[in-house]
Amino acid sequence: MPASLDLEGRVALVTGASKGIGAAIARVYAENGASVMLSSRKRDALENTASEIKGDTAVFAAHAGDPEQAAACVAATIERFGGLDILVNNAATNPYMGRAIDIDLPRYDKTMEVNLRGPLVWTQEAWRQSLEAAGGAVINIVSVGGMTFGGPIGIYDVTKAGLIHLTKHLATELGPQVRVNAIAPGLVKTDFARALWEPGANSDKWPWPLGRLGTPDDVADAALFLASDLSRWITGHVLVVDGGGIVQGSRRG
């Protein structure tokens, strides 16, 4: 049978899934047959998002930087759906904008805890509780900022650079049972990135080859590909989804 984008019979867990890119990934997975656990900090927002998704979904409120909550969410996913095949580490935070040299340590530590330590912890739990025995895929949402330099969110970008490295390293450790890949979005029109895109919100032409802002659906379609059998011989890869900006030298897209 030829490979396809069909996720029928698979179980996915998506962090940071109440809105934006995470919500779009959860939706496209469910629409293509997966059972999906949506997780983020706020249960009400999760329930609102899940209610708009056609397919088999459940929600579990958890802080992405808390190891105990991560373990509980993975366990709840397995209990609810009978397994876990796909983990998407999408949750992230950015409590600081400004020069990296001026950041205070509490906000530095928070950014590292959620954006870099968090994906490792969630992957550890998914591996120990299911993926080591059953196999599957891990997809980390990184950023083109982790591949370039400059700008007002340098510490956030450092965490994404670290996550790119971690993605590639875990791919060497977890194969052949588990494929580990990453998606590096450029500038996507989400609430999370509002401070970066809103100053040019009325522009009808953005300075990269495809000439527009990204949408959550652009990233979700890439996540569907990396979760499906169409990517069955791809691991340790960072898929850039940025409208061509990085090849032109534009940082955020």
The catalytic residue positions are 156
Does an H or E element contain 162, and which? helix 154-174
- What are the C-alpha distances in Å from 115 to residues 29, 50, 75, 130, 175? 23, 24, 21, 23, 23
d(C-alpha 83, C-alpha 24), whole Å: 22
DSSP-based three-state secondary structure for 169: helix
Do 90 and 216 touch, CB atoms closer than 8 A?
Answer: no
* Selection from 207, 208, 241 nearest residue 225 by Cα: 241
Cβ contacts of 99-106, under 8 Å, gap ≥ 24: 99/152, 99/154, 100/154, 100/155, 100/158, 103/155
- What are the C-alpha distances in Å from 117 to residues 122, 130, 242? 9, 20, 25
DSSP-based three-state secondary structure for 214: strand
DSSP-based three-state secondary structure for 243: coil
d(C-alpha 215, C-alpha 150), whole Å: 23
